[in-house]
Amino acid sequence: MDVSAHSLIEELKEFLRSDQISTNETILERHSKDESYHRNSFPDLVVFPETTQEVSGIVQIADRTETPIIPFGLGTSLEGHVIPYDKGMTIDFSMMDQILEIKENDFLVKVQPGVTRSQLNKALKKYGLFFSVDPGADATLGGMASTNASGTTSVKYGVMKDQVHDLQIVHPDGEVIHTGNSARKSSSGYDLNRLYVGSEGTLGCITELTLRVYGIPEHIMAARATFSSLNDAVNAVVAILQSGLSIARVELVDEDSIRQVNRFSETNFSEKTSLFLEFHGNEAGLKSDLSFMEDIVKDYNCEDLQYEHDHASRNKLWEARHNLAYAYVHGFPGRKLMVTDVCVPISQLGSAISYGRELMEKCRLTGGILGHVGDGNYHALLMIDMQDKDEVKRAEDFNEWIVKDALQRGGTSTGEHGVGFGKMKYQEQEHGAALEVMKKIKSSLDPKGIMNPNKIFQRKVST
Amino acid sequence: MDVSAHSLIEELKEFLRSDQISTNETILERHSKDESYHRNSFPDLVVFPETTQEVSGIVQIADRTETPIIPFGLGTSLEGHVIPYDKGMTIDFSMMDQILEIKENDFLVKVQPGVTRSQLNKALKKYGLFFSVDPGADATLGGMASTNASGTTSVKYGVMKDQVHDLQIVHPDGEVIHTGNSARKSSSGYDLNRLYVGSEGTLGCITELTLRVYGIPEHIMAARATFSSLNDAVNAVVAILQSGLSIARVELVDEDSIRQVNRFSETNFSEKTSLFLEFHGNEAGLKSDLSFMEDIVKDYNCEDLQYEHDHASRNKLWEARHNLAYAYVHGFPGRKLMVTDVCVPISQLGSAISYGRELMEKCRLTGGILGHVGDGNYHALLMIDMQDKDEVKRAEDFNEWIVKDALQRGGTSTGEHGVGFGKMKYQEQEHGAALEVMKKIKSSLDPKGIMNPNKIFQRKVST
């Protein structure tokens, strides 16, 4: 940064109120970290814009002074995305939390980036609509777009990339652009929507999102299936997918994780490796799907199949699943969360998870295996004692081996959490020469490297 | 171009056989045009590579000599994408037509760019799988990825962008990169898959594609519904979409178009404005969906509903739909095809089509209205007498008004045909400041502007 925080603040005060600018230690601390094990680092200051114009003004100052900008939603990311390793200005979008428009006939909503997924779903309910992407955290939609988040329903409805129709972006020079439109499809020019979704704040600030929403299904049925072996559970999922059954959710939760769920969410689920399943459709079609599913899980030695018949018990099931990471954090006070996030081709899922399970024991690490197995995306959720250098080293090695294994299987280092700081070191191995293409795009759109530096790529030292 | 065709050929002969290089007048003519009204222009020469290495060699020569490269599939595009307005070398991918791998358990296939959609579907059938994207033409998959093609099933299965998991790309400097992986989802780095899909050969040559395929549905039911008014037909579609019914295909074919269909495809369809519909699912679910659909179309004054019960009659229906553009071309010898391709939000579809229909009459143009109305994408298919300057002018004005109307409604100038040469003039109006972002990406990845120049953007004159 070429200028002091003090002179930045003077410039900011020309269009922001003083309560929109903070150098308060508590505020800086809250913006120094995410929910993961990554070491924290304080920004120089935090700003709280209320309009796109204000964001543009902030970014113009940053451009002129070559000050790093870190867009911040709720800080629920897991790879250090919002940590200001290069200091600079954190833009906190919590004051931009308005649902601007619900176009129910077009199945579209327009929101500001600080709206959370649960806030949106609450507003959509009275229209018979819902927003499908549901990561564990009640994250902001701006943050979810930035990391291309997904969730339990992605096997049916897709990931953030599939929901974003248009973004309003404040470009690194302060210019405001739109990346899309309100049509269902377009072949007009380069797909900027999908370039900005998942770009983790490294290309600009998201100040508005137009998102696809769905009608709440006519009938929903959820179930828990337990298995005595992890292999059987995974193979049942592969068989369900290959049968062509239209499944809406299928989550793997291993024995250790079920124990954490029961403790934290006060559920009484059988403490066995489980699949949490859900099907959407019309009543007759659903009945036929469920009977087919029952046949398949029986073939894979399912020990018990419990349906969650009513709305309340279904909600309880998915809330427990969403809170799983918090259950672990709560269960291991003083420890930090490290989550692997690889995604592999479906045919590789069984052997990849077996490898992960064995490696976790070999590395003497505490945690569980779970994941959105319908997409081939599984997580090893580890609770690390950051004071124990040897344990930290074992956990980091484990993470690296899991990534290497996934890449060898034709998969990816991150299915949904994003690269941030934590997965930066795997980018060259994963993308090879394509990483240079990404770097060229970054340099051409953010030549000064001010947008969320040291995320995805190392910051280019300005010359 | 800095060098003569002769010296290019000498260089190419170092690694290509002479039958892989052509300056034959008939061959040049075949590569001078697409299936539309756009004026033709000859390349200097056409090359027929058989391997990625050969493509890389060709591109390296083009890079060194600043020779334009035009990637060519089968020449079925509709906006002049493959016309060498700047001359140079056309790379014809017809010799790269191998299906490299069918990974049935992962629902993935790996193909070379010259494979056509029907060739792929023929190979997939014995695995119980199909490839979903079906534009009217039996285009190559490389071409379909380049324009982000879609088709009748996109309302359920999505467009090309939703099917591409990985591309092998020969970059404008000859380097070979991969844009993705074989996992179902990824949040690792910028989404190069979706950047290259729809980039119309302006960023590199596609030399391999990994595509998602689907299981052939357990049960399929197709139907034709006729209406006495275009409005009723369109409103019935909007109501079906809003009901949440899971529809797999819904195509609008107006009265004029049905007449062309009957003449060309020897069908005997009732010559009324029609919807061609298809539903996929299990037997019980389908039955319930169809009865719901029947109620809806009745509400919109459907005059007649005919089911196509067997495989053969269903195939006949969709073949007739796919051949509709050819039916028009055949029905109006000597005239050229101009097709508008706007896509609007669903709630705008009825009034947009009414506007288009009235405007077509006002402009005294010959043709019909049809389209993938489930996506809000409709086409006015015009047959133009290119000798009649006044008619050409009226058609061009019509096209421009239709585009302006769609943009005002929050839509796009092209839902599936792409920009090519024909829609270049609307890009600034459609994208505003975002067009500059696209141009920066183009310049950073293809600094010499050799990749398919004068498509999407005007060629930057080298300085």
Per-residue model confidence as pLDDT tens digits over B170-207: 999 999 999 999 999 999 999 999 999 999 999 999 99
Q: Closest partner residue to A106 among B345, B412, B417, by Cβ? A: B345
Residue B334's alpha-carbon distances to B33, B328, B386, in angstroms, are 16, 11, 9
Specify the pLDDT at position A3: 65
A-B interface: how many C-beta pairs under 8 angstroms? 280
Write the ipTM: 0.96
Q: Give yes or no for A411 touching B (CB within 8 A).
A: yes
Region for B76 from its dihedrals, namely left if φ exceeds 0, alpha if ψ lies in -120 to 50, beta otherwise: alpha
Q: Collect all residues of chain B within an 8 Å Cβ-Cβ radius of residue A430.
A: 181, 188-189
Specify the pLDDT at position A244: 83
Specify the pLDDT at position A462: 47
Structural tokens at position B379: 């086409």
Measuring CA to CA, which residue among A399, A374, A416 is closest to residue A233?
A: A374
Q: Closest partner residue to B444 among A287, A412, A440, by Cβ? A: A440
Q: Could you read off the pLDDT of A40-62 as tens digits, one per residue?
A: 999 999 999 999 999 999 999 99
pLDDT at position B462 over 70: no
Q: Could you read off the pLDDT of A127-147 as tens digits, one per residue?
A: 999 999 999 999 999 999 999
pLDDT at position B65 over 50: yes
For domain B333-427, the CATH architecture is: 2-Layer Sandwich (3.30)
Q: Give yes or no for B100 touching A (CB within 8 A).
A: no
Share of chain A above pLDDT 90, in %: 96
Is B419 strand, coil or helix? coil
Average pLDDT over residues A174-199: 98
Q: Closest partner residue to B184 among A107, A148, A375, by Cβ? A: A375
Q: Could you read off the pLDDT of A383-394 as tens digits, one per residue?
A: 999 999 999 999
Q: At what angle do helices B230-242 and B349-362 cross, to 10 degrees?
A: 160
Q: Of all helices (H) and strands (E), which one includes residue A401? A: helix A389-408
pLDDT at position A397 over 60: yes
Measure the CA angle with vertex A32, ends A26 and A34; round to 5°: 115
For chain B positions 338-367, those within 8 Å of chain A (CB to CB) are 341, 343-347
Specify the pLDDT at position A460: 67
Q: Do A187 and B375 touch (CB under 8 A)?
A: no
Written as one string, the DSSP assignment of A37-50 is SSPP---SEEE---
Measuring CA to CA, which residue among A214, A230, A208 is closest to residue A154?
A: A214
Q: What is the mean pLDDT of chain A?
A: 96
Q: Do A185 and B377 touch (CB under 8 A)?
A: yes
B219-325 matches B333-427 in fold: yes
Backbone torsions φ then ψ of B207, nearest 5 degrees: -115, -5
Rounded CA separation A248/A345 (Å): 19
Place A243 in a pLDDT band, splitting at 50, 70 and 90: confident
Measuring CA to CA, which residue among A118, A45, A33, A46 is closest to residue A83?
A: A33
CATH class of the domain whose range is A97-215? alpha beta
Is the Cβ–Cβ distance between B416 and B390 less than 8 Å?
no
What is the CATH code of the structural domain delimited by A219-325? 3.30.70.2190
Structural tokens at position B19: 């039958």
Q: Collect all residues of chain A within an 8 Å Cβ-Cβ radius of residue B340.
A: none
For chain B positions 121-180, those within 8 Å of chain A (CB to CB) are 147-150, 154, 159, 161-162, 171, 175-179
Start-end of H helices in B190-343: 192-196, 230-242, 255-265, 283-299, 311-322, 324-331
- The helix/strand count (H/E) of chain A reads as 17, 18
Out of A231-245, B81-95, B290-304, B357-371, which region has the weakest mean confidence (pLDDT)?
A231-245
- CATH value of A332-420 in 3.30.70.2740, 3.40.50.1470, 3.40.50.300, 3.40.50.1000: 3.30.70.2740
Measure the CA angle with vertex B322, ends B405 and B402; round to 5°: 10
Structural tokens at position B383: 């047959």
Q: Could you read off the pLDDT of B69-100 as tens digits, one per residue?
A: 999 999 999 999 999 999 999 999 999 999 99
Q: CB burial class (10 A; 0-12, 13-18, 19+) of residue A389? A: exposed
Task: Give how far B341 is from chain A: nearest CA, Å.
Answer: 10
Average pLDDT over residues A3-25: 94
Can you give the residue ranges of every domain in chain A? 5-94, 97-215, 219-325, 332-420
Measure the CA angle with vertex A373, ends A370 and A378; round to 5°: 45
Task: Give how far A319 is from chain B: nearest CA, Å.
Answer: 23
Share of chain A above pLDDT 70, in %: 98
Q: Does CATH place domain B96-215 in 3.30.465.10?
A: yes
Q: Do B441 and A443 touch (CB under 8 A)?
A: no
Is the Cβ–Cβ distance between A276 and A226 less than 8 Å?
no
Place B3 in a pLDDT band, splitting at 50, 70 and 90: low
Q: Give yes or no for B402 touching A (CB within 8 A).
A: no
Q: Could you read off the pLDDT of B275-319 as tens digits, one per residue?
A: 999 999 999 999 999 999 999 999 999 999 999 989 999 999 999
What's the topology of domain A5-94? 3.30.43
Measuring CA to CA, which residue among B264, B366, B261 is closest to residue B321?
A: B261
Specify the pLDDT at position A271: 96
Average pLDDT over residues A349-365: 96
Q: Do B182 and A411 touch (CB under 8 A)?
A: yes
Q: Could you read off the pLDDT of B132-155 as tens digits, one per residue?
A: 999 999 999 999 999 999 999 999
Average pLDDT over residues A304-324: 95
Q: What is the mean pLDDT of chain B?
A: 96
Strands (DSSP E) contained in A297-348 are 304-308, 336-339
